Amino acid sequence: MSGESQNFGLRATQLGKRFSSKGGDVQALENVDLEVKQGGFMSIIGPSGCGKSTLLRAFSDLVEPSTGEISVNGKLPSEARAAREFGVVFQSPNLLPWRTVLRNVTLPLQVMGVDRQSRNQTAQEMLDLVGLESFSRHHPWQLSGGMQQRVAIARALSTNPSVLLMDEPFGALDEITRDRLNLELMRIWGNLSATILFITHSITEAVFLSSQIAVMSSRPGRITELIDVNIPYPRNTETRDLPEFYELVIEVRRALLEASALTT
């Protein structure tokens, strides 16, 4: 917990992860160096199977690194988890179908032992934030996929985390809905100033949201390029029409192609 690393919301140094299985070993990550400043928005983009989820899962203490070091707010992931410093949004909404929307959002607080009244109040505020205040009594199956993902975001925000780890949260949505949720995420992030690690397959999404984009190649998974997105926040619908936006999209596409070319 040195003073220097305190400034990083997320940090990985020489991170490596090797999965051993009967079919042979897989080097999912190798020599990954990644630094996200507190309050920064880092997107990770790369070909399928390059280790993006593994990296995110290492930060969320769901995967043990084989080599290297990793920290969340200067702490070990397990410590950060114990201190409830991060929230995770999975690729699927991952809601519990027998619980109402409100009670899905209160879940983390219930686990933490927060009393019913204050957890309901917090959850209601989070639902306001994602624009689902009138759906608190619905069940997940009564919502569209986009609404379910917003509930998942509200749930991740309910513990007021300083770090948000999001694994392709909008991957299953159509482009219009995705654009809308991107805008919403920008608005929410503006209010929270959390550190965000965001995995995506969409180049435009990455450019629109991030302050920095890490491009990965696969086998072994490593970061091949870091691209700064120097478009000032707050970003809005017009951002997508800026010439810088197009230039960055082209640059990321090129980096992605090069990364894929490294993969055989």
Partner 1 sequence: MSSNNSGDNPTLSEEVDDSSSSIQERLRAGARQVLVAFFLLVLAAALWELAKVITGSNDRTMPHIWDTLSFLGSTTSQNENYSWFLFKNAWSTAKASLIGLLVGTAFGLVTGTSIARSRFVGNGLMPLIVAAQAVPIVAIAPALVLWLGTGGVTKTVITTYLTFFPITVATARGIQSVPKESHELLRTYGASKRTSLRILELPFASPLIFVGLETAAAFSVVGAIVAELPFGSKEGLGVVILTSWQFYITEPRALYCVALTSCALGAVFVLSVRLMAYFALGPRSQGEVL
Ligand X SMILES: Nc1ncnc2c1ncn2[C@@H]1O[C@H](COP(=O)(O)OP(=O)(O)OP(=O)(O)O)[C@@H](O)[C@H]1O
Residues within the interface to partner 1 (CB under 8 A): 60-62, 81-82, 84, 86-88, 90, 92, 94, 96-100, 102-103, 106-108, 110-112, 116, 120, 134, 136-139, 141-142, 159
Among 2, 3, 21, 264, binds ligand X (CB under 6 A): 21
Total residues at interface with ligand X (CB under 6 A): 11
Closest contact distance (angstroms) between CB of 137 and ligand X is 34
Inter-residue contact 17 to 28 (CB < 8 Å): yes
Q: Identity (one letter) of the amino acid at 174?
A: D
217 binds, among ligand X, partner 1, Mg ion, none (CB under 5 to 8 A by kind): none
Q: Does 53 bind ligand X (CB under 6 A)?
A: yes
Q: Determine the 3-state secondary structure of 44 from DSSP.
A: strand
Per the CB < 8 A criterion, the answer to whether 42 and 11 are in contact is no
CB nearer ligand X, residue 16 or residue 108:
16
CA 16/CA 32 separation, integer angstroms: 7
Among 50, 72, 80, 215, binds ligand X (CB under 6 A): 50
- Say which amino acid occupies 75: K
**Cα(54)–Cα(62) distance, integer angstroms:** 9
Q: Which of these ranges, 53-61, 132-140, 149-157, 240-248, lies near Mg ion under the rule CB under 5 A?
A: 53-61
Nearer to partner 1, 94 or 211 (CB): 94
Rounded to the nearest 5°, which phi and psi values hold at 174? -70, 165
Please report whether residue 264 would count as binding ligand X according to CB under 6 A.
Answer: no
Q: What is the C-alpha separation between 108 and 252, in angstroms, rounded?
A: 36
